[in-house]
Structure 1
Amino acid sequence: MDAQRALFEHKMSKIKKTKIFLLVLIGILGVTVVQDFLQSRYQSYSFYFSESLLFSILWILFVPITLGTRHFFQKSPRLLQNKWTYRTFFILSTVVIHIVFYALLIHLISWIFMSHTFHFWRNLTYTLSQDLYKYLFVYSAISLLPISIEKKKHTEPLDFTEFIWVTSGRKSEKISTREITYIQASTPYVEIYLEGKKYLHTDTLKSLEKKLDQSSFVRIHKSTLVNLDKVQQLKSRLNGDYDVLLSTGEILRLSRNYVAGFRAKQDRSSSQAEKYSG
């Protein structure tokens, strides 16, 4: 229940942020259109709502370009080691991207939806000559905002299945996932192996993998999941693959494509065991 509640709250938080973002965009559009209308009245020239709405994209683009560029820098820690290097690269890259993309967007939208086309090079030249200072000022101010390095974290599922209901003849039986030795795909079913028992279960290996405790169960082959607690020994085949000896005496193949993931979970499991025993 706690996991479901946490997931629900996370979804609601994302919906709330999306609504706020949309309201901000609508507000920016409204302010720019009103400003254009008042300016047209003050200088006594015709006001065209469609053109005003089109050119107001200039302000809207600050949001996605800022978010996208900062996300890129978060994934490039070397560029963040020196704050002045980061700020210089951030300002230059965002200004160039914004000006080029804005001119291209105006050209395409006007060409597709309007009777008069605003050509790319004319848009680019006008923006550079009239609005360059706006871009430099806004993105220079944004570059002063703190940015944190995005660290990759290993995430475990919020919850996992402790029991699985399987059908045996006319009976349904509840088995503990801790007792499972390994699971193999047998399309359209999976074969669940316990010590001295085997069950045919209606599910997919991919689906079961998501439900099980991922700190205990690890994929060793595209068609096999094994319980780490049941692993007794690894023996190299000298070709990148390994033989996995289980507590039941059975031997499974650990494919070279899954060795790194197996080792990582094995080391994590060992360190957790040492922590609890200490």
Structure 2
Amino acid sequence: MQQHENPMQTLLSIMAKLRDPRGGCPWDLEQDFASIAPYTIEEAYEVADAIERGDIDALKDELGDLLLQVVFHSQMAAELGHFDIDDVAQAISDKMIRRHPHVFGNEDADDPAKVVSNWEAIKAAERADKDTDQSALAGVALALPALLRAQKIQKRAARIGFDWPDVAGAVLKLSEEIDELHSAQTEAERFEEMGDLLFAAVNVARHHGIDAEAALKAGTAKFERRFRAMEQNAGEEFAAMTLDEKEAEWQAVKKEAG
């Protein structure tokens, strides 16, 4: 394949070749938007993982993988006559200019909070112009992680006044949902009440200014560190230990780790 001076153009040419019915890759040719979507999500998470690990070389590689996803979707759309990568770039350029009137226009925004406020107002106006769904909850992506989506849904509702006035109401609701889970009689009821409980827990986190997704991630990481420490301390005997012995080891690890 001829190498282009522009690396982006090289990538676009590679993707076009992979999707060429005459001599392209059978796997790439078989894909569509839906089949590629899980890979797109996975690559976004791998970008976030590289950032969290502070691995700048991995970040470069993972950003390349994520860029490939954008190119892949754009190539498929171009084949169907919908849009191409230039249209994607133009659309995001227009959006960034439109949503930063304090930079590209005459509005003032001298602190991050004002920028966010302006952004959300402009975003809401854009939705009103093009969406048939005029709900305050419209536009919150279904594919978001569940805790993150719950948080966004709650923020949307709070913007129009449907919210507890303070954290006390949210905590009381969480306690109520715990009681309702304990009282549930069937598997279906327990499933429903568990969902209500988790939603209420996200609400408590939101009122405390805590990102529920990040908090759960940190809590899971802490459990993993302590559990691995237990395994290391106990060695091969760990699995055979009684629950009381494991609990004692857990408390020891917890005390040591702080």
TM-score, length basis structure 1? 0.23
Larger radius of gyration: 1
Greater strand percent: which structure?
1
TM-score, length basis structure 2? 0.24
